[in-house]
Amino acid sequence: MTAMTAMAAMTAMTQTVQAPPTAMAEPVAAGCGEAAGLMGGGRAAGELGLSRGEFARAVQLGIVRAGPQGAAGAARYTRTELDRVRSAEGFPDALRERVETVAGAEAAAAVLGVGPSRFTRLARCGRLTPVGYRINRYRAVVWLYLTAELRDFAAREPRMLRGSAPPGDRELIESRADLRPRKWRERHVGLLLRRTADPWERAAVLASVLPEDDVRATVPDAAERILLGALAPPPPYGHPQVAAAAEVAARLLRAGPPDEIGWYRTSLDFALTGARGQSKSTGERGPT
């Protein structure tokens, strides 16, 4: 749902606190998006010489910026944006290198030149941040890492690849800590916040990683909660559709440790203060 659509819905909610019926979308003539210089993700990926997964990663990282949404809310991309990406130095090889990922400890360890157990220790201690995830057939999380970041880490921290763990890491290991989900959420939220300057949409990003009880406690206004839900970002690319795997992945999307939840609640409260202030100044409740 776009910000303008959410604003229209919010106007009705302030009177009834009920979701309005969905309006029928006007038919769009085939090919009109392309004629206007807009195209879908599949065509945009092909024009950049990327697979769908590589293109999704480029969008996630902000390398490719989405244009106006289509009638059904699907992302569209402008010819001008694709030309900008193509004009970058080293295209297309440099672009592919920036979005290349490896999956799992064994493949990531090979990039670093260490064993899988050492890599897992580094990742669990928060030394390396996943960029995505998959859920395998055993319902286990397989983390994805940017190859370029792994190479940078190996060049920057060679001592971390040999010898014993530093004291801080040893404490985390002894406590059986695993910072991978938290570090991924931190990156995920940060990338989403970079995509929008709208205060309500930014608040929705922060609310999306909080458990429902914490959202209700932080946002007592039911109409505001409906708005934040309408503006919530979709699950990341690659999020499983099979129910059993989706249940596992859904746990990755929500903050867990109390201090992490507290940080997002404080951030959400701050974001809502700004969003409400903007609405007050414009006379409209919701995104403008």
Distance of alpha carbon 81 from alpha carbon 38, whole angstroms: 10
Enter the tokens of residue 77: 């991309």
- What residue ranges in the chain does DSSP mark as E strands? 38-39, 77-78, 101-103, 132-135, 141-146
Q: What is the mean pLDDT of the chain?
A: 88
**227: helix, strand or coil:** helix
Summarize pLDDT for 245-285 with one digit per residue, the tens: 999 999 999 999 999 999 999 999 999 999 999 887 666 65
Nearest to 56 by CA among 239, 213, 222: 239
Burial classification of residue 259, based on how many CB atoms lie within 10 Å of its CB (0-12 exposed, 13-18 middle, 19 or more buried) = exposed
> What does the alpha-carbon distance between residue 288 and residue 73 come to, in Å, rounded to a whole number?
17
pLDDT in tens, 111-133: 999 999 999 999 999 999 999 99
Sign, CA torsion 258/262/264/268: positive
pTM: predicted TM-score of the whole model, two decimal places: 0.84
Instruction: Find tokens 């064994």 and name the residue.
Output: 106
DSSP string, 70-82: -TTS---EEHHHH
